[in-house]
Amino acid sequence: MSTPHAFASAGRVLTGVILVSAALGLSACKGGGDAQAKPADTAAAPVPVETVAVARRSVAASYVGTAALEVPRGADVVAKTSGIALEVLVEEGDAVRAGQPLVRLDPDRARLAVLQSRATMGKLENSYKRAQQLVGQQMISANDLDQIRFDLDTARAQHEMAQLELSYTTVTAPISGVISQRMIRTGNFVQINTPIFSIVDNARIEATLNVPERELRVLKRGQPVRLQVDALPGESFEGVVERVAPIVESRSGTFRVVTAFAGNAMLRAGMFGRIHIDYDQRADALVIPRSALLDEGDETAVYTVQGGKAVRVPVELGYIDGSLIEVRSGLEDGDPVVTAGKVALREGSTVQVIGEGPVAATPAADAQSEAK
């Protein structure tokens, strides 16, 4: 016969069993939920990228170098006689013509020399005329006549020299151009053969490039040249390859290429310029942005997008034209190539092209949706 105490004990045991069973059931349910959620958690989020379609256009093969501009023709103006500068007629930046007066020196001393030589010459001319009459009368010898004629010729030469010295007191420009430097002021004493001005001829500007020897076979005289100057952003100047050195300097492995440009009021000697020499052109080439190239190892490749996945494609490159580069093989016209976001990509990565609709749900995500 059961006692109330026994029923109480049995009730406590039954309650414990029920609680344990409930706990195990909840644990099993929780474990099953985790098992279903696990595939969804492992689905990688798509990588956002930007793409550009492969296109056809003309590309030019060019060599790009930098050099300082210089004027091939210039001259230092020197004084051919000494004297005090009474008047300086030009300043730096003034345009001058060949033969134009630049400085007037004190002419007094040279003018007196001209007067003195003229008087001496006049006296000898009269003496020579009288001697010609006297030699006919045999009153003087032929040798005396020759001596007087020699003295007259010498006096004439000295007179011409004095006139020339007088002309030197006006210093003139030897060439046409622009005064680039003035080294004299009014009142200065000018020494003979001392430079007092520098003149540059801006009618022609040159720039000399030191080009690597690998470009020797493609750069030729007469090829078109484009010049861009750092001091004049947005401006472009057309020129031509004027000379190509026939030898390569062994020490530097370069050869000299001289480019020439027509004079321009904006261009100045000493400016730093970037020079483009176009030596070939293809009218219908496949091109991509240089930003699409992958920087990894010796093989050149890009990422393209196929079915929402990143696909690595090796490519063969051709000419480089500014920010574009020619593709010889590996891509077709219209293929999308990744230009931004490629650092985070791997072969087969799911991508989301910015500007397009969202990527379709993955199978794992679909299964999770159905489970819910």
| Domain contains 39 | no
Q: What's the CATH number where 272 sits?
A: 2.40.30.170
The predicted-structure confidence for 154-167, as pLDDT tens digits, reads as follows 999 999 999 999 99
State whether 330 and 245 are in the same domain.
no
Provide the H-helix boundaries in the chain: 4-42, 108-136, 142-167, 363-371
pLDDT of residue 2: 41
pLDDT of residue 341: 83
3-class SS at 4?
A: helix
What's the rounded Cα separation, in Å, for the pair 268 and 254? 26
- One DSSP character per residue, 162-226 reads HHHHHHTTEEE-SSSEEEEEE---TTPEEPTT-EEEEEE-TTEEEEEEEEEGGGTTT--TT-EEE
State whether 178 and 257 are in the same domain.
no
- The lowest-confidence range among 22-26, 50-54, 226-230, 352-356 is 22-26
State whether 242 and 95 are in the same domain.
no
What's the rounded Cα separation, in Å, for the pair 93 and 178? 6
Q: What's the CATH number where 341 sits?
A: 2.40.420.20
Better-scored residue on pLDDT, 232 or 363: 232
pLDDT band at 93 (very low <50, low <70, confident <90, very high): confident
The predicted-structure confidence for 187-240, as pLDDT tens digits, reads as follows 999 999 889 999 988 888 899 999 999 888 889 999 999 999 988 888 889 999
What's the rounded Cα separation, in Å, for the pair 353 and 343? 15
State whether 176 and 100 are in the same domain.
yes
- The lowest-confidence range among 3-7, 43-47, 287-291 is 3-7
pLDDT of residue 200: 86
Pair of tokens at residue 131: 């001697």
State whether 186 and 219 are in the same domain.
no
State whether 67 and 210 are in the same domain.
yes
Domain of residue 224: give its range. 63-72+202-282
Pair of tokens at residue 361: 């749900």
207 backbone φψ class: left, alpha, beta (φ>0; ψ -120 to 50): beta
pLDDT band at 321 (very low <50, low <70, confident <90, very high): confident
Q: What are the C-alpha distances in Å from 208 to residues 61, 115, 251, 323?
A: 20, 53, 18, 25
- One DSSP character per residue, 266-301 reads T--TT-EEEEEEEEEEEEEEEEEEGGG----SSS-E
Mean pLDDT of the chain: 81
Pair of tokens at residue 294: 């992958």
Predicted TM-score (pTM) of this structure: 0.54
State whether 221 and 157 are in the same domain.
no
- When pLDDT is averaged across residues 81-102 and rounded to a whole number, the result is 92
Structural domains of the chain, count: 4
C-alpha 86: how far from its chain's center?
A: 45
pLDDT band at 43 (very low <50, low <70, confident <90, very high): low
State whether 87 and 230 are in the same domain.
no
| Domain contains 38 | no
pLDDT at 273 exceeding the cut of 70: yes
pLDDT band at 10 (very low <50, low <70, confident <90, very high): very low
| Burial status of residue 318 (CB atoms within 10 A of its CB: 0-12, 13-18, 19 or more) | middle
| CA-based end-to-end distance of the chain | 54
pLDDT band at 116 (very low <50, low <70, confident <90, very high): very high
State whether 322 and 342 are in the same domain.
yes
The predicted-structure confidence for 176-189, as pLDDT tens digits, reads as follows 888 988 999 999 99
Q: What's the CATH number where 183 sits?
A: 2.40.50.100
Domain boundary among 282, 316, 333: 282
- The lowest-confidence range among 253-257, 268-272, 367-371 is 367-371
> For residues 93 and 178, is the Cβ–Cβ distance under 8 A?
yes
- CB atoms < 10 A from the CB of 63, how many? 19
> For residues 103 and 195, is the Cβ–Cβ distance under 8 A?
no
Amino acid at 290: R
Domain boundary among 218, 249, 282: 282
